[in-house]
Amino acid sequence: MKVLVIGSGGREHALAWKLKQSEGVEEVLVAPGNAGTALEPGVRNIDVAGEDIGVLLEIAKVEGVGFTVVGPEAPLVAGVCDLFNANDMPCFGPSAQAAQLEGSKDFSKEFLVRNDIPTAAYETFSDLDKAKAYIRAQGAPIVVKADGLAAGKGVVVATSEEQALAAVEDMLSRSVFGEAGATVVIEEFLSGEEASFICLCDGTTAVPFASSQDHKAIFEGDKGPNTGGMGAYSPAPVIDDALHERIMAEIIEPTLAGMAADGIPYVGFLYAGLMISAEGDPRVIEFNCRFGDPEAQPVMMRLQSDLLAACQAALAGELAHFNLSFDPRVALGVVMAAGGYPGSYKTGDPISGLHKDLLDTKVFHAGTCLEEDQVVTNGGRVLCVVGMGETVANARARAYERIELIGWRDRYFRKDIGYRALERD
Ligand code: AMP
Ligand code: GLY
């Protein structure tokens, strides 16, 4: 069978690599992919952007694609699964309506509160004066979020009232996020430790992947502006067995039941971004309607089950007795970024050392492309280098050892990925 993966990042490289290992998969197509997917055995890139869903459907038909897996949120929110499935082209992911769990913060907050799922208290505004009055009444710290998709940049965790007021001014009055910021959600600041809890969902049943944790901030010690993610590891030691049970019972199961009761059953990867309080209570920070990036890279390294079979079972509504199995070892991925990211950065720099392999490591590409036969940088997050090991320390040592073999002008990476897990180990 031919399988299509939509997207171009590290997550998509990891998904494509894992899907190629599935039984009966002769080729994985990635649209548009990157240099990593171009060079991966049995994987081929197709030069179509993930947002061109009509063109993707036509190409999928011409290529005889038997199953499609969607990486990023934008095509999901645009309805790629609705379009493909209506054309008898099996496509794994939520419908456009169900993808509103990520596509609209107001939709997801209203849903969470109505279903008694623990989350931060919030109010929604499109009127600037009312939003400002609310911020003044609540005080700081406080969190301001653009309602719609803003490529991960629409959240301001304000430590002062002034910063929060400036954020609503930017969104509601200066339209810095366009339509996405024409409505804002203002919510209570949650403290604690973040974790990513990602499940495979079939509309009624959710089967969890191994837990993971990412580092969103650009600088060591989780300081500085947020990025798409500078590294991630699996498992997340903050989630022990008891907490895992609670997350399933208090968050994941009520979410699937609530969506089904609303007539929009959730099929696809469901990513719950959680804050675990000092007391050990989990609360939802956000939902994503897709796999995490860079969480996918370490989690796919640990996944032992057949990913295609799992996604097919989920799309068919057959997860009731399904389990996923994982390598018990730790996987830890470090993102290598272009200097300057998440601000402005250069592209087109040749990358050296990619051919030097190291046992129990894997390099997933994100912002790369091929110029002739040379891999060059083509984005802010360039690579994610994953190491596997018996302990966090071992996995981390492997990842950094492999990183030292890879170079380009102006590479940047955090040297402390996994420090929280290391402290717990
Ligand atoms: P989101 O796009 O909603 O995941 O927000 C991006 C990041 O902002 C999260 O990963 C958190 O680090 C932080 N954040 C979002 N909401 C809150 C909150 N209510 N309290 C504290 N931090 C938050
Ligand atoms: N790593 C965060 C995300 O995928 O949203």
Q: Is 187 in the pocket of ligand 1 (CB under 6 A)?
A: yes
Residue nearest to atom 4 of ligand 2 (CA): 292
Ligand 2 centroid–CA 292 distance in Å is 4
Ligand 2 centroid–CA 57 distance in Å is 26
Question: What percent of the chain is predicted at pLDDT more than 90?
Answer: 92
What's the mean pLDDT when you consider all of the chain?
Answer: 96
- Single pTM value for the model: 0.96
Ligand 1 centroid–CA 155 distance in Å is 7
Q: Is 158 in the pocket of ligand 1 (CB under 6 A)?
A: no
Using alpha carbons, list the distances in angstroms from residue 209 to 25, 234, 289, 300, 335: 22, 10, 14, 9, 21
pLDDT of amino acid 175: 85
Q: Of 353, 342, 357, 361, which is closest to residue 414 (Cα–Cα)?
A: 342
136, two tokens: 């003044």
Residue nearest to atom 11 of ligand 1 (CA): 285
Given ligand 2 and candidates 145, 213, 293, 414, which is best to mutate, with the most ligand atoms within 8 Å of its CB? Answer: 293
Q: What number does the ligand 1 atom closest to the CA of 152 have?
A: 2
pLDDT of amino acid 151: 77
Question: Is pLDDT of 415 > 80?
Answer: yes
Residue 76 neighbours by CB under 8 Å, 6+ apart:
70, 93, 94, 96, 99, 102, 268, 289, 290
Torsion angle in degrees (nearest 10) through CA of 297, 303, 306, 310: -80
pLDDT of amino acid 301: 98
313, two tokens: 């079972």
185-189, 195-199, 225-229, 273-277: the lowest-pLDDT one: 225-229
Helix locations, 177-288, DSSP H: 241-247, 253-261
Question: Is pLDDT of 154 > 90?
Answer: no
23-45 pLDDT, tens digit per residue, is 999 999 999 999 999 999 999 99
160-180 pLDDT, tens digit per residue, is 999 999 999 999 888 888 888
Give 171 or 97, the one with higher predicted confidence. 97
284-340 pLDDT, tens digit per residue, is 999 999 999 999 999 999 999 999 999 999 999 999 989 999 999 999 999 999 999
Positive or negative, the Cα torsion across 360, 25, 314, 113? Answer: positive
Question: Is pLDDT of 270 > 90?
Answer: yes
Q: What value does the mean pLDDT take over residues 135-160?
A: 90
Q: What is the SS3 assignment for 107?
A: helix
